[in-house]
Amino acid sequence: MWMRPDALMAFEVQEVRETLRRYVDVVLGKERPLFRIAQMVRVQVKDDPWEAHEEGMQMLRECLDGCERSGGEGITLLDLKVQLAKKLAGRCSLCEWKCGINRLNGEIGVCRVTRPRVSSAFIHMGEEPPITPSGTIFFSGCNFKCVFCQNWDISQYPKSGREATSEELASIMDSLRYRGARNVNLVGGEPTPNLPYIIEALKYAKADFPVVWNSNMYMSEPATRLLLGVVDLWLPDFKYWDDEHARKYSGIPRYRETVTRNLRMAYTLGEMVIRHLVLPNHVECCTIPILRWIAENVPNSLVNIMEQYRPEYKAYNYREIARRPKKEELRRAYEEADRLGLKWRFVSLF
């Protein structure tokens, strides 16, 4: 497969080697993906399945440096994760909206997603260099309503695309990997409303690949716990610092506390490339405090400071974001990232 030159040399770059060591080894077949380890670990479920999950996660962490298939009793940790994820969907609290409706019966919450629908799946050549070529699966529907969404035709139309069973999702994942993708990149819209089916698909997948969670990170706390031990590379969007701005442009409450909690959790297992889209007129209120938070809390991450914002969809209704960011705004962001010692250059300026 033809490779973009920066993607081809990405694994030799020091910033990448320091931050994505395990991910690179999984891409190269030198390490197992986390979901395979979760398939090897067995747990006995007695009274509290979440307690069994914690025990399983402890075993998974101990297995990171290598362990053989355990022939013990009980169910696999991956099976337990599927069961718990379906339970969350049964009174839906997969994301922080916590709609409480029964998604398994076709009831509809804020995201309006029922069963997973795939809008498209292809090998993406335009992601960050270590991630490209990426086996992207675009799910229809989203729990956010960003006025500047560039994928609004997917994210705001949960009925677009084609419904896929977990087995079908697995065969899409396999085919992307067999066709040369470095990873399977779950995106949308938003993957979170489809989380139980995505984890279930991994049970059926035959290929080994790193799982990339390309998300707005608005998962509930238990949903994030289930993703730990499944996601090899977190690819979160960190959009806002000021909650009023999250509410205004994405219709989201409690944005900052939710996303920072989930980023902290994600940082404990799996590696991370954080994306931040610089919005015009939001450098001081959002960009700068976000970069500072990253430096203090999740420093060993790559940071993609994205300059490509352009007003789309409903953004023209908001004068302050109805233009591209200015050079001075971007320079301010880059200088602050340098001052903080963030690892941003290689993945930002590709």
Chain residues in the site for ligand SF4 (CB under 6 A): 92-95, 97-99, 103, 109-111, 113, 143, 192-193
Q: How far is the CB of 288 from ligand SF4 (least distance, A)?
A: 30
Q: How far is the CB of 257 from Zn ion (least distance, A)?
A: 16
Residue 282 binds which entry of ligand SF4, Zn ion, none, CB below 5-8 Å type-dependent:
Zn ion
Using CA atoms, how far residue 232 sits from 108, 183, 210, 236, 237, in Å, is 30, 9, 5, 13, 16
Specify the stretch interacting with Zn ion by CB under 5 A; choose among 72-80, 202-210, 242-250, 321-329.
Answer: 242-250
Of 193 and 210, CB closest to ligand SF4:
193
Q: How far is the CB of 154 from ligand SF4 (least distance, A)?
A: 15
Instruction: Quickly tell me which residue has 């902290």 as its tokens.
Output: 264
Instruction: Quickly tell me which residue has 């025990």 as its tokens.
Output: 55
Q: How far is the CB of 100 from ligand SF4 (least distance, A)?
A: 8
Of 147 and 186, CB closest to Zn ion:
147
Within residues 277-336, the interface with Zn ion by CB under 5 A covers: 282, 285-286
Instruction: Quickly tell me which residue has 């694994």 as its tokens.
Output: 11
- Number of helices followed by number of strands (H, E) in the chain: 15, 10
Alpha helix locations (H) across the chain? Answer: 5-8, 14-19, 21-27, 34-40, 49-62, 77-90, 152-155, 166-178, 195-204, 221-227, 243-250, 255-267, 288-297, 327-340, 345-348
Q: Is 245 in the site for Zn ion (CB under 5 A)?
A: yes
Return the structure tokens found at 338. Answer: 């340098």
Of 215 and 287, CB closest to ligand SF4:
215
Residue 242 binds which entry of ligand SF4, Zn ion, none, CB below 5-8 Å type-dependent:
Zn ion
- d(C-alpha 17, C-alpha 279), whole Å: 30
Of 103 and 124, CB closest to ligand SF4:
103
Q: How far is the CB of 191 from ligand SF4 (least distance, A)?
A: 10
Residue 95 binds which entry of ligand SF4, Zn ion, none, CB below 5-8 Å type-dependent:
ligand SF4
Residue 216 binds which entry of Zn ion, ligand SF4, none, CB below 5-8 Å type-dependent:
none
- d(C-alpha 98, C-alpha 88), whole Å: 9
Return the structure tokens found at 328. Answer: 């001075």
Of 91 and 292, CB closest to Zn ion:
292
Residue nearest to ligand SF4 (CB): 109
**Best CA proximity match to 113, nearest among 172, 197, 170, 186:** 197
Residue 111 binds which entry of Zn ion, ligand SF4, none, CB below 5-8 Å type-dependent:
ligand SF4
Q: What is the CA radius of gyration of the chain?
A: 19
Residues in the site for Zn ion, rule: CB under 5 A?
Answer: 242, 245, 282, 285-286
